[in-house]
Amino acid sequence: MKSRPLILIAGGTEAAGPEFGDPSLTLSGRYPEAVLAAGGLPLTLNPIPSPGYLAECVRRCDGVVLSGGDDIQPLLHRRSTSPELARTVGRTDPERDLAETLLIGEVFRQRKPLLAICRGHQMVNVVFGGTLYIDLATERPDGLDHRQYARLNDPVHEVALTRGSLLRRIMRQPVITVNTTHHQAVDRLAALFQPTGQTADGLVEAYELANEHTGLLPWFLSVQFHPERLCLKYPEFGRLFAALARAARRTAR
C-alpha cells in the first residue's frame, strides 16, 4: 500500500487560547478528519509569516488545504471602505493574511495541489488581484441569505456547475446543493481564474484556473462552501478531498 500523501492544512489563530491565555493555533477538526478519510495524512500549518518556514513546509508536503476563519482585511483588496461597511468587518488577523499570502505564493512556485475553502477561496482571489464583497447583506441586500449558521452541516442553496469543469467532474452532476455560512464573498474574480460554480444570485461559489493557466498547478479547486462539514453526512462531498489526495499522491516525490 502506498503511503498517505502529506496534506498541509492552513490553520487560524485564537487571540487568547486555553493555555495561559496565549495566542494559539486553531482549526476545526472537520478538516483533518476529511483529509484522513480521503486517504491523506493531515498536518496543521501554523500561520507564521516566515518565508523560509513556509517554503520548507510546502517543500515537504504533497498538497495544501486553505481553511476558513476570520475576515480578510479590506485594505488588501480595496482602496477605501465606507464606515458602514467597516462596521460589518469581524475579527481580522494581519499575520495570518501575510502568512497565507506567502503560502499561496510558495504553493504556486513549487506547483503543489491546492484546495481552497471559504476564507481560503477568498484569500487566493485577493492574492492574485481580485476583490471581495465586504458584507453581502449590505452590498447585495436582494441576494440570497448566505449566512445560515443554523444549518451549518446541511445543504441550503444550489450551485450550478460549469460543463467540463473539474468540480462538475468530481461531483458528477450539473447542480449541487451546499451549506452557506459566509458574509464576505468573491466580487471581481482575478484574471488568472474562471468561475465554475455560481449561485442563483450570481455569486462565484467555485472557481478554477482559466484554460490558459491550467499548467500553473497540477490540481486546483476553490470553493466558498464547506465540504468538510458536509462529507460525513453527505459522502459525495468527500470526493473533493479524495481528488486532492489522488493529485497529491501523483506529485509526491
Closest CA to 237 of 145, 184, 159, 163: 159
Give me the mean pLDDT over the 106-113 stretch. 98
Q: Is residue 240 part of a domain?
A: yes
What contacts 242, CB < 8 A, 6 or more positions away? 38, 39
Residue whose entry in the numeric block shows the C-alpha cell 497540477: 218
Q: Output the CA torsion 121→123→125→130 (10° steps).
A: 140
What tens digit of pLDDT does each residue of 135-179 get?
A: 999 999 998 888 888 898 999 999 999 999 999 999 999 999 999
Residue 36: pLDDT over 70: yes
Q: Answer whether residue 1 is part of any domain.
A: no
Q: What is the pLDDT of residue 2?
A: 63
**pLDDT tens digits, one per residue of 76-101:** 999 999 999 999 999 999 999 999 99
Query: What's the pLDDT at 1?
Result: 43
Decide if 44 is inside a domain.
yes
* Structural domains in the chain (count): 1
Share of the chain above pLDDT 90, in %: 89
Contact by Cβ (8 Å): 23, 17 = yes
Where would I find the H helices in the chain?
Answer: 30-37, 51-60, 83-86, 94-110, 119-127, 136-139, 166-171, 227-230, 238-251
Contact 116, 221 (CB under 8 A): yes
pLDDT at 244 > cutoff 90: yes
Residue 113 lies in a domain: yes
Identify the three-state secondary structure at position 154: coil
Containing domain of residue 73, as a range? 6-251
Main-chain phi, psi angles of 107, to 5 degrees: -60, -45
Higher pLDDT, 4 or 1: 4
Check residue 167 and report its DSSP letter: H
Which pLDDT belongs to residue 144?
Answer: 85
Number of residues in the chain: 253
Q: What is the CATH number of the domain that holds 157?
A: 3.40.50.880
Q: Which residues are catalytic?
A: 118, 226, 228
Task: Please tell me the predicted confidence (pLDDT) of residue 232.
Answer: 85
Considering the domain boundaries, does residue 189 fall inside one? yes
pLDDT digits (tens, 9 = 90+) for 195-234: 999 999 999 999 999 999 999 999 999 999 999 999 989 9
For residue 193, give the C-alpha cell: 481564474
Taking the model in full, what pTM does it have? 0.96
